[in-house]
């Protein structure tokens, strides 16, 4: 996201249409974030790419002019950047951190402190890159998630001005330098889009080409086009941006090749000039220009408001609330621009203001670091032991090897894993999704006590159903490897016992291959039948070499068993939900899996597989399931995964296979 640059200071040829293009970009991002379910602009995230091109063009234009006229100063350049970027950022960081103290539990506030620290350091993109993966905290729980783009932009401007100055000093070919860097960055982008989408999205090296596209346009100032051609280029550029925002979707491999469309569209619109019809009549409209001027604070404010609404409600805001958030974001953006940005930027004592705003951001970064290091200042709730226990439960790892496990294979993109524990002569394989892997602490406990009598293998992948033939076109694309890995392991290691936790989960962009057909796994009956038919074939295959056990559905609850939902939140604060004391009817928990369990029983009857039930260990043999054990310690770390401390001592349903 680029901060507004007052193009009137560049030269007498002010480009109001660029302010309008900036407005178009920020509104596409805001609509994409505020109304995800309406799918008005499923590709609205391309607004960030438009910003990158605009920023690369405008600031490079300044740099070329100053360096050519021997007026360039590193200190002056970064002073302007500080006065442009830091005031609004400081206000936003301060407001978000203060409000976090009001509505976030310690674990959440600690994460917010981390976001503030990296946001103030302009390293948010690296922090998000290091965290990315299946079990990363939901994007909607990160009020400062959007600062990744600001980080990339500022990283570019740490390197670009000195490099340009050196190139001019050495009388290097600037055009060739820009093209060479652009091609290199774009090549890295394409390579990463095929191997590591998270790196491609967040790393600066794979994004710099977008800013360099704007820089290339700024360098070639002598391009003369006929009026008619300018109209065509402008229309084509607008069409490319609008098509990207309307037709792209977040599950696509992005940026990759796809980013060429909005980037080329942005270059075309700028190249067409302010007199092209679209630029003059639409982008230079007074309303568009006004929104463009406040686009930077609008970008800063809109996402924290949306994220906090998710946190407080535990679900997306309604459409009416989303409209309110957009209006509030516009008002906050205007106020920030009018009373914070302009006074700092237009102050007669610029040097002093520069030091002040730089110090403010540095102090806020230090405050964020302190909040992060102290674990979210849990002393705020010393009088409420229940809240502390719930907070501790939410911090437990939910997909990590125990200390005694040896990881044999690991897919970092999807976290699919093969791990081994124990050295016994008998061999057991436990396979499935993450709810199978969270039984690992029980095996570790038996190993610590010297009672683990088998060599046990875990073959798992988050959200992977462990049924051959499942093909996904999104985050779960790696799942088809998990079933193959289990088959290979059973044959190679001569595994005698296999425990499978298959889980049918209808979802978009997933299919199952059956008898030459590709059937959607979107909840329709045909997909369900194919799923369990493939499972039955798979069980028969495994039974040729091993005894097979199928694990029935495990207790899950998005609310009643989930410590993350045992906190009642309001706009003015948080408290422990008094209903957290209540147990959940076991019948309700089993009802979720009624059809799935019936299908598993049918598969077991036809194949001779045996069934295992974890419910008694988790909930007892009564009619109600308590969310707590011991001294009111939560059993779960979220609504799905059991806590390691509970599993170690209380899950015995596998013991007869392991001891």
Give the pLDDT confidence of 296-341 residue by residue, as tens digits.
999 999 999 999 999 888 788 999 999 999 999 999 999 999 999 9
In this structure, the answer to whether residues 315 and 440 fall within a common structural domain is no
Q: What is the pLDDT of residue 444?
A: 96
Q: What is the pLDDT of residue 6?
A: 45
CATH number at residue 614: 3.40.50.1110
Q: What is the pLDDT of residue 19?
A: 96
Domain boundary among 378, 409, 424: 378
How many domains are contained in the chain? 2
Domain boundary among 378, 405, 439: 378
Q: What is the pLDDT of residue 11?
A: 45
In this structure, the answer to whether residues 342 and 432 fall within a common structural domain is no
Q: Which of 382-386, 458-462, 620-624 has the lowest mean pLDDT?
A: 382-386
In this structure, the answer to whether residues 416 and 282 fall within a common structural domain is no
Greatest C-alpha distance within the chain: 85
CA atoms within 13 A on the CB side of 59: 26
Q: What is the pLDDT of residue 476?
A: 64
DSSP state of 307: H
With 80 as the cut, is the pLDDT of residue 624 above it?
yes
Does a structural domain hold residue 384?
Answer: no
**Predicted confidence band at 293 (pLDDT cuts at 50, 70, 90)?**
very high
Q: What is the pLDDT of residue 575?
A: 80
Does a structural domain hold residue 2?
Answer: no
The average confidence (pLDDT) of the chain is: 90
> Which one is predicted more confidently, 477 or 353?
353
With 70 as the cut, is the pLDDT of residue 405 above it?
yes
Q: Who contacts 143 (Cβ-Cβ below 8 Å, separation ≥6)?
A: 96, 100, 112, 115, 303, 304, 307, 308, 311
Do residues 164 and 220 make contact, with C-beta atoms less than 8 angstroms apart?
no
With 50 as the cut, is the pLDDT of residue 26 above it?
yes
Over residues 592-621, the mean pLDDT reads 95
Whole-Å CA distances, 207 to 81, 259, 303: 20, 10, 22
With 70 as the cut, is the pLDDT of residue 58 above it?
yes
> Which one is predicted more confidently, 222 or 155?
155
> Which one is predicted more confidently, 413 or 214?
214
Over residues 473-502, the mean pLDDT reads 85
In this structure, the answer to whether residues 428 and 565 fall within a common structural domain is yes
With 70 as the cut, is the pLDDT of residue 9 above it?
no
Does a structural domain hold residue 245?
Answer: yes
With 50 as the cut, is the pLDDT of residue 7 above it?
no
In this structure, the answer to whether residues 333 and 408 fall within a common structural domain is no
Residues 533-552 have pLDDT tens digits of 999 999 999 999 999 999 99
Over residues 59-67, the mean pLDDT reads 94
In this structure, the answer to whether residues 53 and 170 fall within a common structural domain is yes
Return contacts of 169-176, CB within 8 angstroms, 24+ apart: 174/64, 174/219, 175/216, 175/219, 175/220
Q: Where are the beta strands (DSSP E) in 294-394?
A: none
In this structure, the answer to whether residues 437 and 540 fall within a common structural domain is yes
Over residues 44-71, the mean pLDDT reads 95
**Predicted confidence band at 378 (pLDDT cuts at 50, 70, 90)?**
confident
- Ramachandran region, residue 397 (left: φ > 0; alpha: ψ -120 to 50; beta: rest): beta
In this structure, the answer to whether residues 373 and 445 fall within a common structural domain is no
% of the chain residues with pLDDT over 90: 71
Q: What is the pLDDT of residue 615?
A: 96
Torsion angle in degrees (nearest 10) through CA of 471, 472, 475, 479 = -20
Does a structural domain hold residue 389?
Answer: no
Residues 196-213 have pLDDT tens digits of 888 999 999 999 999 999
Give how far the C-alpha of residue 368 lies from the chain's centroid of Cα atoms, to the nearest Å: 20
Does a structural domain hold residue 390?
Answer: no
Domain boundary among 378, 411, 439: 378
In this structure, the answer to whether residues 326 and 411 fall within a common structural domain is no
Does a structural domain hold residue 571?
Answer: yes
With 50 as the cut, is the pLDDT of residue 8 above it?
no
Residues 222-281 have pLDDT tens digits of 678 898 999 999 999 999 999 999 999 887 889 999 999 999 999 999 999 999 999 999
Q: What is the pLDDT of residue 4?
A: 47
Over residues 163-188, the mean pLDDT reads 95
Domain ranges, residue 488: 397-658
> What is the C-alpha to C-alpha distance for residues 590 and 583, in angstroms, rounded to an integer?
14
In this structure, the answer to whether residues 363 and 427 fall within a common structural domain is no
Does a structural domain hold residue 481?
Answer: yes
In this structure, the answer to whether residues 531 and 650 fall within a common structural domain is yes
> Which one is predicted more confidently, 86 or 348?
86
Q: What is the pTM of this model?
A: 0.79
Does a structural domain hold residue 392?
Answer: no
In this structure, the answer to whether residues 261 and 228 fall within a common structural domain is yes
> Which one is predicted more confidently, 581 or 189?
189
């Amino acid at each position: 996201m680029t901060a507004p640059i007052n193009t009137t200071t560049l030269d007498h040829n002010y480009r109001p249409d660029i302010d309008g293009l900036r407005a178009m970009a920020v509104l596409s991002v805001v609509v994409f974030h505020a109304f995800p379910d309406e799918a008005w602009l499923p590709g609205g995230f391309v607004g960030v790419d438009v910003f990158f091109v605009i920023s690369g063009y405008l600031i490079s234009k300044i740099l070329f002019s100053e360096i050519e006229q021997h007026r360039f100063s590193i200190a002056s350049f970064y002073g302007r950047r500080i006065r442009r970027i830091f005031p609004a950022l400081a206000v936003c960081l301060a407001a978000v951190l203060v409000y976090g103290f009001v509505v976030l539990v310690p674990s959440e506030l600690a994460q917010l402190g981390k976001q503030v620290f990296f946001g103030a350091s302009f390293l948010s993109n690296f922090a998000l890159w290091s965290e990315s993966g299946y079990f990363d905290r939901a994007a909607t729980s990160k009020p400062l998630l959007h600062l990744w783009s600001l980080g990339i932009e500022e990283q570019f401007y740490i390197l670009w001005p000195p490099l340009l100055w050196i190139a001019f000093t050495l009388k290097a070919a600037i055009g060739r330098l820009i093209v060479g860097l652009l091609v290199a960055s774009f090549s890295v982008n394409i390579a990463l889009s095929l191997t590591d989408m998270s790196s491609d999205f967040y790393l600066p090296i794979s994004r710099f080409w977008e800013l360099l596209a704007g820089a290339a346009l700024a360098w070639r100032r002598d391009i003369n086009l006929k009026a008619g051609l300018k109209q065509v280029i402008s229309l084509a550029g607008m069409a490319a941006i609008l098509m990207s925002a309307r037709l792209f979707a977040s599950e696509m491999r992005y940026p990759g090749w796809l980013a060429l469309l909005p980037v080329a569209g942005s270059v075309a619109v700028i190249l067409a000039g302010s007199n092209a019809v679209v630029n003059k009549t639409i982008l230079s409209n007074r309303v568009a220009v006004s929104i463009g001027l406040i686009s930077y604070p609008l970008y800063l404010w809109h996402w924290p408001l949306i994220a906090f609404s998710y946190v407080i409600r535990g679900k997306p805001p309604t459409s009416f609330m989303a409209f309110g958030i957009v209006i509030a974001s516009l008002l906050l953006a205007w106020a920030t621009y009018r009373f914070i940005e302009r006074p700092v930027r237009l102050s007669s004592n610029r040097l002093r203001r520069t030091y002040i705003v730089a110090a403010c951001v540095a102090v806020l970064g230090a405050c964020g670091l302190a909040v992060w290091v102290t674990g979210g200042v849990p002393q705020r709730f010393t009088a409420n032991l229940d809240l502390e226990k719930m907070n501790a439960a939410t911090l437990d790892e939910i997909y990590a090897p125990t200390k005694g496990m040896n990881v044999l294979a690991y897919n970092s993109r999807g976290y699919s894993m093969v791990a081994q524990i124990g050295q016994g002569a008998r061999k057991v394989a436990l396979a499935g999704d993450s709810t199978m892997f969270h039984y690992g602490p029980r095996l570790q406990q038996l190993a610590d006590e010297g009672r683990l009598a088998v060599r046990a293998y875990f073959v798992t992948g988050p959200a992977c159903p462990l049924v051959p033939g499942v093909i996904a076109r999104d985050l779960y694309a790696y799942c088809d490897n998990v079933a193959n890995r289990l088959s290979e392991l059973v044959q190679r290691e001569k595994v005698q016992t296999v425990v499978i936790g298959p889980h049918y989960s209808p979802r978009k962009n997933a299919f199952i291959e059956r008898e030459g057909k590709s059937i959607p796994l979107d909840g329709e009956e045909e997909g369900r039948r194919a799923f369990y038919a493939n499972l039955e074939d798979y069980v028969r295959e495994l039974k040729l070499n091993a005894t097979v056990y199928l694990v029935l559905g495990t207790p899950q609850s998005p609310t009643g068993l989930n410590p993350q939902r045992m906190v009642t939140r309001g706009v003015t604060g948080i408290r422990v939900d008094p209903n957290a004391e209540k147990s959940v009817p076991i019948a309700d928990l089993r009802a979720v899996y009624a059809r799935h369990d019936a299908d598993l029983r049918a598969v077991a009857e036809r194949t001779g597989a045996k069934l295992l039930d974890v419910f008694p260990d988790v909930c007892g043999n009564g009619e109600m399931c308590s969310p707590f054990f011991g001294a009111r310690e939560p059993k779960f770390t979220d609504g799905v995964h059991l806590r390691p401390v509970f599993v170690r001592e209380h899950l015995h349903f596998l013991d007869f296979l392991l001891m």
